[in-house]
Amino acid sequence: MTGIVLAVVRPGDLAAARAQMGFSLAWHIVLACLGVGLPLLTVLAEWRGIRTGDQSYRLLARRWARAMGVLFAVGAVSGTILSFEMGLLWPGLMGTFGQVIGLPFAMEGIAFFIEAIFLGIYLYAWDRLEPRKHVLTGLPIIVAGIASAFFVVCANAWMNQPRGFTLQDGRVTAVQPWAAMFNPAAPPQTVHMILAAVMVACFLTASVYAVALLRGRRDRYHRLGFFLPLTIGAVVTPVQIVVGDWAARFVANYQPTKLAAMEGVYHTGTHVPLTIGGIAQGDRLRYGLEIPDGLSLLVGYSPDTEIRGLDQVPRDRWPPVTGVHLAFDLMVGVGFFLLLVAVWLAVGAFLRRRRGRFLLPRAFWVFGLVAGPAAVVALEAGWTVTEEGRQPWIVQGVMSVRDAVNPAPGLMVGLWLVLVVYAGMTVGVVYVLRRLAKQTPVPVAPQERDVEDYPVT
């Protein structure tokens, strides 16, 4: 393939466009994860409440449903901003490859509307439908949320592993949208992202109730609010680590330059060490902890496995090594911290079966509190690896970021405007969620009678 050059842009405007897109994605991705995982938690809690008759589950489902409605509305706004940014900031990308990659975006739109419709039904029909039928109205929300994530990540995977078109004299021909959407990078990326979304939603939700537990609220409502999402997050964590290994091996085989940046490998060879930490100086990583032959063993199960280094590509096509490498290390480190929390929870559950009591020290609640923000950090670090590791390309090996950006001057103004808008939305979301958290989860409408007089404070 040959590169496409569309226009010349000033460096300041290019940096502003990248900063605006990066900030918007970093903000929206947290809400998107909650949109995938929170419906699952809510419907599960409601189903358990109906099945067991335990009012605590129904109270949790009711409160989470309200938070879900607020977050969905705000996520729709930030998602719309992102849609405009794709066209306004990167006309080179969308103008040239829109016909190739438009399919997953269109299907994501359909999934979004299905999610919105059934979320409205789910919220409105509480106590207006028979409970078992009401639970069923929540299932399309879960499916549509996962489908939205799948389609969007398919589009991003295509940017890492472009397929489904032919480039002739700078023109895109022989377009195959389905081949583009189901590109080779789609399976590991989509599975990795959907599991990450569930983990973020579960650990964040659990961390809210960890605060209450640390403040001495040990009633059943708060304990279930902590243990239900934490248990799901704990179950998903080891699976995510296995999927992460799958994704890393894919990168090693199909995106060797990104792997070289992730691991700070400058020179191609065998017996390549695994370096933890460190910063790039010259043509090597310094101050890192090296495990001899570690990377060769991880990639190919043998110290003789050859790892392609950055010396295989021109220097002006190197990703920013220090940032990508440290972001990758941070993501992996947080992943193993969450695995530690999962193992601790499993040991506690095992001892409970043996002794009949669930004995966990106060430190465990602290770990549960930290796990929520830590999951978000891992999420952001993972996306940093994905996006920064592809630089300087916006479509790997085909179109550079510089050639895709809007050449019009004044992009810095848009960056400041977006920062102001997101600052306002952040304040608004925090204010509304804090108001919801302070309220007792009692009915707000006369027909909602299932939680009256419940002694939760």
pLDDT digits (tens, 9 = 90+) for 69-109: 999 999 999 988 988 898 889 999 999 999 999 999 999 99
pLDDT of amino acid 410:
81
Answer with the residue of higher pLDDT: 437 or 132. Answer: 132
**Is the per-residue pLDDT at 139 higher than 50?**
yes
pLDDT digits (tens, 9 = 90+) for 124-136: 988 888 988 999 9
Q: Are 217 and 194 contacting, i.e. CB atoms less than 8 angstroms apart?
A: no
How big, in percent rounded to 5, are the helix, strand and coil portions of the chain? 70, 5, 25
- Separation of alpha carbons 84 and 323, rounded Å: 28
Using the predicted structure, report yes or no on whether residue 404 has a pLDDT greater than 80: yes
The confidence band for 447, taking pLDDT boundaries of 50, 70 and 90, is: very low
In terms of Cα–Cα distance, which of 301, 295, 190 is closest to 243?
190
CA distance 250 to 228: 33
**Mean pLDDT, the chain, as a whole number?**
89
pLDDT tens track for 363-391: 899 999 999 999 999 999 999 999 999 99
Question: What sign does the dihedral 297-300-301-305 (CA atoms) show?
Answer: negative
Rounded distance, CA 64 to CA 436, Å? 10
Measure the CA–CA gap between 276 and 295, rounded to whole angstroms.
Answer: 11
Indicate the Cα dihedral angle 129, 134, 137, 142, nearest 10°: 160
- pLDDT value at residue 445: 47
Q: What is the pLDDT at residue 193?
A: 96
User: Do 214 and 199 touch, CB atoms closer than 8 A?
Assistant: no
Choose the weakest-confidence range: 12-16, 66-70, 77-81, 352-356. Answer: 352-356
Per-residue model confidence as pLDDT tens digits over 18-50: 999 999 999 999 999 999 999 999 999 999 999
Give yes or no for a contact between 104 and 426, defined as CB atoms under 8 angstroms apart.
Answer: no
Does 12 have pLDDT greater than 90?
A: no
Q: How confident is the model at residue 2 (pLDDT cuts 50, 70, 90)?
A: very low
Residue range 403-425: mean pLDDT, rounded: 89
Q: What's the pLDDT at 329?
A: 96
User: What integer pLDDT is reported at residue 145 of this predicted model?
Assistant: 95
The interaxial angle of helices 362-388 and 321-355, nearest 10 deg, is 150
Q: Predicted confidence band at 440 (pLDDT cuts at 50, 70, 90)?
A: low
Is the pLDDT at 119 greater than 60, yes or no? yes
Pairing of strands 171-173, 166-168: antiparallel
What pLDDT is recorded for position 208? 93
Percent of the chain past pLDDT 70, that is, above it, reads: 93
Helices (H), 161-219: 177-181, 186-214
Q: How confident is the model at residue 439 (pLDDT cuts 50, 70, 90)?
A: low
pLDDT band for 426, please (50, 70, 90 cuts). Answer: very high
Q: Is the separation of the CB atoms in 229 and 201 below 8 Å?
A: yes
Single-letter amino acid, residue 365: W
Confidence (pLDDT) at 164 = 93
pLDDT digits (tens, 9 = 90+) for 314-349: 999 999 999 999 999 999 999 999 999 999 999 888
For residue 392, whether the previous peptide bond is cis, meaning omega lies within 30 degrees of 0, is: yes
Check residue 446 and give its pLDDT: 44
In this predicted structure, the answer to whether residue 6 has a pLDDT above a threshold of 90 is no
For residue 357, pLDDT over 90 is answered with no
> Sorting pLDDT into bands at 50, 70 and 90, what band is 457?
very low
Q: Supply the pLDDT for residue 7.
A: 55
Least confident segment among 200-214, 325-339, 397-411? 397-411
Instruction: State how beta strands 289-291 and 284-286 pair.
Output: unpaired
Q: Which residue has the higher pLDDT, 441 or 60?
A: 60
Q: Region 174-180: what's the mean pLDDT?
A: 94
Question: How many angstroms separate the CA atoms of 297 and 274, rounded?
Answer: 9
Q: What is the pLDDT of residue 166?
A: 92
